[in-house]
Structure 1
């Protein structure tokens, strides 16, 4: 049977405009282009897991607006179960307003919208989805008490539990660590969790060691072009990244998390799952956009390093 992954998290519509430069306070600029792109870390990870071989259910909230309908439709195209994607009356869907300048610097305003209405009670209504899962993934773009409920329930059900602590602004609650199988931050998130600047393999090892001391069972720190670092208290292993020509790094971390979860749910070893996730993430950075850049299983299977 196809492995089952449940993603509990955010769905956003990214509203992206490009301009020669970012506007100053009170200034109106003429933009060069505008696109809407389905996103949100939860939805991105759900799409990645689905394209990379898992049967996926999404648990989240959108508004009762056109964006909410489009966000659901984008997941349904990937054959993701959206029974637990709830439309909340009288509220907007989550949006990210993004202005990108000619040097690819950006300014972003995020409105939580429906994501802020994903309460523990909403998740509890879909407990059967969690019970059917092999792997459950959470992030931090929904209320913290909802994440805590999801982690606790996933642990009670004996599922493989993954937390991608993004966005991270400080240490995690101490009680969370014992509920996790895998904690997967990137460099900046690891720095926020530990206070250690992560800019090398040595500093990544120090951050991973601190997270293990805090109670994490296993830590994977994603390091962009450097690959990733795995630590479980017994060993620390560096996995170099496949060499590719990058175009856009958007959603690379989400692709890794989704790919790692899909491979793990299918019975792959940790090392195999990490390598699989890294190939998927490497392929994603060779393409523009968030969800449009996420590769499919056949792409990963056909990858040959340059």
Structure 2
């Protein structure tokens, strides 16, 4: 019998019924596919609670990486907060929570920490949690608002770490579509922490300079099709901490793509090949690389 837990999908598409969250529907190849914008938040809530109880179960294993600490540390580097919390239903809780709840903005929130796994049974604890509202970030005893990019970063970080097992393969499609470059780097850092002890690997399809610059060249595979079939080639230089310009030119092939600013500079030099004047006019908006380019074009257009 197939192990249904061996594959986990985290995203906005959902097939099964779930009346606890609002959904929009669309048809795809005869199947009813649900687009649920709240699903990553809902799943991340479960993933974080599961991680806390896994930490308690495997804390005696030398190789085990504390998932809750890894998640919290990664999130705290990227987001400014004091602690993570989840809303709880006090009418269901009875007296099991003792003095854990904190009242924030008139709501009952439970501060999440690594000791919860030792204090409660997981089914009992989950039964009082409000997973629909998601994990909350608390700063100065208030719920902290996050941008959409920060929210998605938190969801993917929590879901990936929560779901990882030994010998996992994590596949992520273009994380740069929803992450700020700084968050992309923090996500790569989190993967580096979590993959090795779990003997796991990750595949990222990306067009991000920030991502490529954070990994060694042996991990970078460039897919090209120049009319003679698909080729997969490695970069001929070290990408980890490498030159952004070199990575952009070779890995993503932007040397063959016209650049509007380069075209504008060329036009200016055609009209007036006075490189020093153009550099002076641009002032602080120019960097060393562009300065060298303008000087070179100036010599070209002045005939020297």
* TM-score in same-fold range (> 0.5): no
Write 1 or 2 for the structure with the bigger share of strand: 1
Write 1 or 2 for the structure with the bigger share of helix: 2
TM-score normalised to the size of structure 1? 0.28
